[in-house]
Amino acid sequence: MEINNLNQGGQQIKVNVADQPNVECENCKNIFFDKVTIIKKISKLLVGTPDDQLVPMETYKCAECGHINKEFIV
């Protein structure tokens, strides 16, 4: 799979995704992840509504040990 993008000079850059390094679990070095949802609670005082608001945000956990890498925490 290739990604085409323009750099700041307007030149097209081709990146072969297969050649890029895998992201590894910080805990066990596994390279497979499952999509999970973190739910953020926004105070009603911040959003001006009668109730607190729940906002789902997707992230990833290690498929082997369940760890969530620091870079995935939103």
pLDDT in tens, 11-50: 788 889 999 999 999 999 999 999 999 999 999 999 999 9
What is the structure's pLDDT at 8?
A: 63
The H or E element that residue 33 is part of is strand 33-42
Residue 5 lies in a domain: no
Helix residue ranges per DSSP H, 1-74 = 44-47
Residue 6 lies in a domain: no
- Name residue 13's beta-bridge partners: 5
Range of the domain at 60: 22-74
Identify the sign of the CA torsion 8, 14, 19, 22: positive
Residue 37 lies in a domain: yes
Residue 14 lies in a domain: no
Residue 71 lies in a domain: yes
Residue 11 lies in a domain: no
Query: Residue 66, Cα to own-chain centre: how many angstroms?
Result: 15
Residue 72 lies in a domain: yes
Q: Which two tokens stand for residue 20?
A: 């890029």
Q: Has residue 73 got a pLDDT over 80? A: yes
Residue 17 lies in a domain: no
Number of domains in the chain: 1
